[in-house]
Amino acid sequence: MTHSPTSLRWSLILLIAGLIAAGLHSRGTIEPRFSIANPIDAHEKEIVQPLFSPIELPRPEISAHASSMAFLPDGTLLVSWFGGSREGADDIAIWMARVKDGRTQDSWIALTCKQLEGLTHRVIRTLGNPVVWIDTKGDVRLHVVSVSYGGWAGSSINQLRSEDGGKSWSEAQRLILSPFFNLSTLVRNQVVAMEDGTIGLPAYHEFLHKWGIWVRFTTEGRVLQCERMPSDIGQLLQPAVIATSATDALAVLRNTNSSQPVIGRSATKDGGQSWSLMAPLEIPNPNSSACMIRLRDGSVLIAANPLANGRNILQLFRSRDGGTSWEASRIIERGEKGSEFSYPSFAQSAEGMIYLSYTWQRKGIRLCAFNAAWLDAGGNDNAAMESAP
């Protein structure tokens, strides 16, 4: 039996289409994996004093809150936060500062409501909770919460890119994460790198009920996955996530349940494709944000307000077994009832120095730096780090 050229051509087209479809399907079934570095000795500088005690970042506005940090390619620390007359006000802007060797190099307004309106062509009433990170090209990436109408329950997440260190933004887009008018999705804690070059973003939902969300997306902003974290012990939000292996990760979450005021916990064993609820940590949580980082020596560090009520103590907790058990470590600040040292954020330098930024009294952002040797020397130290005057 002979075949006409036309039928042979169509057979070839169908064969190629089938191979392409099979290839796409095959790539889609590859389990996502976390990019995780092997533990190394991070005691290059055996100091038992902090590199520097809390310093004040520039305070040009009445109110400042919710800092985030990342290291620029030249080793300079980039710190971001939101500031204005008060949280939720229409004069709120995203601020940034560059810090080197414990000194602020410069600071500037990185993003205003009006600027984001021009980039996204949407009404922007206020901004909040910036999350800054650096991509493989060295560009600054920013995720920031915006509100067009109402309060934080009516918020959306925007992704921006800067080629000049955060001074200007070449592109911006909203991440589409919710079918309900894409409302009530927010960010707070740092991103997680994936082995395939995609990014994992801990996010959360805040309208009516609260829960954590694991978002995985490409650097171009294409959302590949949006997975809800279970929240049946209470109202859990603002997850902080660290990878403990290529497939396993741990999340700690802020708990808004006043009848069980302890840090919530969730985990994944399949690269973030599904999350299971774990028993909460025995660390009190007064409905306040906590942060977490996997250090270069393989241990894990949490910064939190370990009280049933109030945010007047900011303390570190350390795990040497991947987050299974925790020991109390150094106290960063302690104040009278009504004081606030909150919303901490971590970053670790290539040299192993650990940087911690946090909100100070809702008036400014403080920054301190130390290494693992300082943590080890302190034991269960109840003395607060000497603060800036």
The strand pairing partners of 331, in sequence order, are 315, 384
**Which comes out higher in pLDDT, residue 380 or 111?**
111
**Three-class SS of residue 23?**
helix
pLDDT tens per residue, range 133-164: 999 999 999 999 999 988 888 899 999 999 99
In a domain, 315, yes or no: yes
The tens digit of pLDDT for each residue in 111-141 reads: 999 999 999 999 999 999 999 999 999 999 9
Token pair for 333? 């600040």
**Strand-pair category, 341-348 with 327-334:** unpaired
Whole-angstrom Cα distance, residue 289 to residue 277?
18
261: domain range?
44-378
The C-alpha atoms of residue 306 and residue 111 are separated, in whole angstroms, by 33
Residues 195 and 246: their CA atoms lie apart, in Å, by 8
User: How many domains does the chain contain in total?
Assistant: 1
Least confident of 185-194, 233-242, 341-350: 233-242
Over residues 249-278, the mean pLDDT reads 96
- Does 230 reside within a domain? yes
> Looking at 35-49, 56-70, 335-349, which range is the least confident one?
35-49
Q: 14 or 254: which carries more pLDDT confidence?
A: 254
Does residue 241 sit within a domain? yes
In a domain, 28, yes or no: no
pTM: 0.89
Contact (Cβ atoms closer than 8 angstroms) between residue 354 and residue 369: yes
Look at residue 233 and tell me if it is in a domain.
Answer: yes
Cite the DSSP H helix spans in the chain: 5-28, 113-120, 372-378
Report the alpha-carbon distance of residue 275 to residue 66 in Å, rounded.
26
Give backbone dihedrals phi and psi of 370, rounded to 5 degrees, phi first. -160, 175
Decide if 238 contacts 264 (C-beta within 8 A).
no
CATH number where 339 lies:
2.120.10.10
The segment with the largest mean pLDDT, out of 25-29, 54-58, 147-151, is 54-58
The answer to whether position 91 is within a domain reads yes
Asked if the structure places residue 345 within a domain, the reply is yes
Per-residue confidence (pLDDT) for residue 234, from 0 to 100:
63
**72 in a structural domain:** yes
